[in-house]
Amino acid sequence: MRFNDIPYKRIDISEYQNEQNDLIKKINEETNLTSIKKLIKEYEDNYIKVITLASLAMIRYTINTNDKFYDEENNYLNEINPLIEEVTNNFNKALLNHKLKSELENIYGSFYFLKLNIKNKIFDQKIIDLLILESKLQDEYDKLIAGAEIEFDGKINNLSQMAKYSQNLDREIRKNAAIKVDNFMAKNDEKIINIYLELVKVRDKIAKTLGFNNYNELGYLRLGRTDYDLNKVNEFRKNILEYVVPIANKLIEKQAKRINIANPKHYDLSLNFLDGNPTPKGDTSELVQKAKEMYHLLSKETNEFFNFMIDNDLMDLETKPGKMSGGYCSDLPLYKAPFIFANFNKTADDVNVLTHEAGHAFQYYYASKFINNPDMICPTYETAEIHSTAMEFFSYPYLESFFKEDTNKYKQIHMSEMITFLPYSCLVDHFQSLVYENPTMNATEIKNTWQKLEKIYLPWKDYGECKFTASGTFWYKQSHIFINPLYYIDYALASICALEFYLLDLEDHNKAWHNYLKLCSLGGTLPFLELLKAAGLNNPFKKETIHAVINNLIPIIEKM
């Protein structure tokens, strides 16, 4: 079914609660294994219908946050999502406490039951009002950012549209565009920082209500992390500082020489060549057609997948007024259909986001063929980001159709930005972990924390005339900090693994693609480190892994 034809109706939460709780009661009382399996299947079918409607409303709302109907539906979902979660928690408890738990564990797997146990720990009726407040604060941030109207270049631009000016050959244009964005953030300083302060307070209260010392402990469980903790992540960040930051610094120095600017400001760092950055050749429909040809050539699996996406209008790629910023992949479980959301701005980022989100979408589409349990199709974020980031690298042999004579330039930028991104990802994570460790920090202390860490992880950053951004507020536009707390380190972990796929692909494409398909097919049936092992990838927490990846990349980067 084409996306615009998918019917939507408001979820009747009372009906859902009554129907599902009745099934849960029957599961609790049932002693016949075959009958229990049928009841579980009936419960899952109802659950799939509800989460599909919720996902459909969310997607349509983010496509146009000014749509009054879906704005109201989004607000309604914020109210009922904790109630849906409460029903889910009742179901989880029924399985965890069942007389036939051992038999059920043999059928559904021990890792599934481990996940149920984690979900049981992170929810309680006592936090329902706090969860509703958290969702409302997240929406408040989203609307504020999506509603940006910045007058520049003779027109009104949102933040996604302003991004293209950061690559303009005219330094004055780059600088003035950055100042305009800086002014927008400064104008909304009080609103943004107050939203964040409230989010920190709410999340800390949720954690302590559930018996955790702070949100860091709860946040790791919310993200489903079972085989590593904050100590492991601390070590990972130290390894990035030791092995990656020096290389990233050199890449920034080389870039400064290429664009002939001795002391580049932050608004210079998006320009990589004096004659301009590579841009994709063609409009949105042409880029989609080129992607279709690429996925046809890459494999029969990706060919089938991308045709499905096109045939069912499962992509919304162009920037529009009122559209939420950024890009994401969501899913519509009832139709086993992923959905790609992006904001094309006529830069190379259009190809980045398309291939990245296509990696997420492909994994969901492919794993759905092997896994029926809706909660096991997708893994935790750090694994999911391997699917997407590795897909960016698997696109390398086909990029000429997008960039023509500028293909090598694109690869050079893409690889360099992958390296310089690693410290930034660690900065975002370190910043959040310190804030949640010290949740009573005021606005000034939070900004000072960012400033201090930024000097360590990104020693090359100079904000020049953008005084407000320089005051420790660059993170204001990093939506993950507001919407997906503690998520961002997943990008860095995944990047190390994706770079391993790239290096293997250079040696043996068939093996690399086989391992990638294996990883995609396993979905979330195993914890992170076990999934890596199954896909022939090394443990990114080990310093030897990072050291080896970076060392092997250096000669490749130097030849670009």
What DSSP assignment string belongs to 110-179? HHHHHHHHHHHHT--GGGHHHHHHHHHHHHHHHHHHHT--EEETTEEE-HHHHGGGGG-S-HHHHHHHHH
Report, as an integer, the average pLDDT of 504-527.
Answer: 98
- Asked if the model's pLDDT at residue 557 lies above 90, the reply is no
pLDDT of residue 160: 87
Dihedral of the alpha carbons of 92, 94, 100, 101, in degrees to the nearest 10:
30
Whether the pTM exceeds 0.85: the reply is: yes
**How far apart (Å, rounded) are the C-alpha atoms in residues 159 and 145?**
8
Q: What is the DSSP string of 93-105?
A: HHHHT-TTHHHHH
Q: What is the pLDDT of residue 560?
A: 76
The whole-number pLDDT of residue 149 equals 94
Confidence category of residue 58, pLDDT binned at 50, 70, 90: very high
Of 17, 22, 40, 18, the residue nearest 101 (C-alpha): 40
**Of 210, 551, 153, 520, whose CA–CA distance to 369 is shortest?**
520
Residue 1's pLDDT band, with cuts at 50, 70 and 90, is confident
Residue-wise pLDDT tens digits, 230-275: 999 999 999 999 999 999 999 999 999 999 999 999 999 999 999 9
Mean pLDDT to the nearest integer, 6-25: 98
DSSP-assigned beta bridge partners for residue 329: 340
The pLDDT value given to residue 558:
84
Q: Which residue has the tokens 């992540």?
A: 233
Residues 166 and 268: their CA atoms lie apart, in Å, by: 7
Residue-level pLDDT at 523: 97
Q: What is the pLDDT of residue 544?
A: 97
pLDDT given at position 534:
98
Please tell me the distance from the alpha carbon of residue 460 to that of residue 248, in angstroms, as a whole number: 9
pLDDT at position 406, please?
A: 96
Task: Report d(CA 391, CA 13) in Å as an integer.
Answer: 39
Per DSSP, the three-state class of 315 is: strand
**Residue 455 in this model has a pLDDT that exceeds 80:** yes
The β-bridge partners of 151 are 156
| pLDDT attached to residue 393 | 98
Residue 559: pLDDT band with limits 50, 70, 90: confident
Integer-rounded Cα radius of gyration of the chain: 23
**Statement: residue 425 has pLDDT above 90:** yes
pLDDT above 80: residue 83: yes
φ, ψ for residue 298, nearest 5 deg: -65, -50
pLDDT of residue 71: 95
